[in-house]
Amino acid sequence: MSATARITAGRRAGTFGIAALLLLTGASLTTAQPAKAAVPAKAAKPAKAAGIDVECLGSFSRTFSPAITLTPQSVTGTATYTYNTCAIGSTGSGSASSTLTISCIPLAAGPPETETVTWLDPTGGSSVITWSQPTVVAQTIVFTGTVTSGRYLGDAATKITSGVSYVGSVIGCLLGTPISGTTGLVDSLLLTS
């Protein structure tokens, strides 16, 4: 008997059941699966870009001892960095000191320096970053280096700063007002593994 004949016979008998419907659609009882309950999605964790351990912005201040004057002299610059806006990683604060011969005229390159960054999260700890001689272009300084100890040991490090107040101080310095300090922005601190 054909499928149509079986359905017609079922109708005459007053039964148009599931079996007839299955015959019409070509489905079978053995392949039908019960509907699965919806599983709530897990809360997504913030994405961490592959290889980036820290990506922050912030600010800095640097003091000069003795103050920078028209006459070239050996000056110790002590910097304090605040990394307070981080897309990846913890906020932190850093400090570094370096000595160089300098006068009012802006440098084309600065000295290498070592910075210690203290991470301000429950894990804590610190990183020591050894910076190579930075490149200086007007008020922008580009540092490259390596994390040589502590948290993120072995990471490559890059930092870009803008010395907002220094360039404005140069004219005053040329007119006889020494520069005892400067402030600026950390445009980027990036540690990559």
Q: What is the pLDDT of residues 13-26, one digit of tens each?
A: 443 333 333 333 33
More confident residue, 5 or 108: 108
Average pLDDT of the residues of the chain = 79
This prediction's pTM: 0.71
Contact assessment for residue 107 and residue 134, using Cβ atoms and an 8 Å cutoff: no
Res 192: pLDDT: 97
Task: Tell me the per-residue pLDDT of 85-124, one tens digit each, with 9 for 90 and over.
Answer: 999 999 999 999 999 999 988 766 778 999 999 999 998 8
Distances in Å between the alpha carbon of 101 and those of 9, 23, 183? Answer: 106, 94, 20
Of 36-45, 98-107, 142-151, the poorest mean pLDDT is in 36-45
Domain ranges of the chain: 1-30, 52-192
Distances in Å between the alpha carbon of 182 and those of 7, 67, 135, 167, 187? Answer: 92, 11, 18, 9, 16
Residue range 27-49: average pLDDT? 45
Q: Residue 43: is its pLDDT beyond 60? A: no
How far is the C-alpha of 66 from the C-alpha of 180, rounded, in Å?
A: 7
Res 139: pLDDT: 82
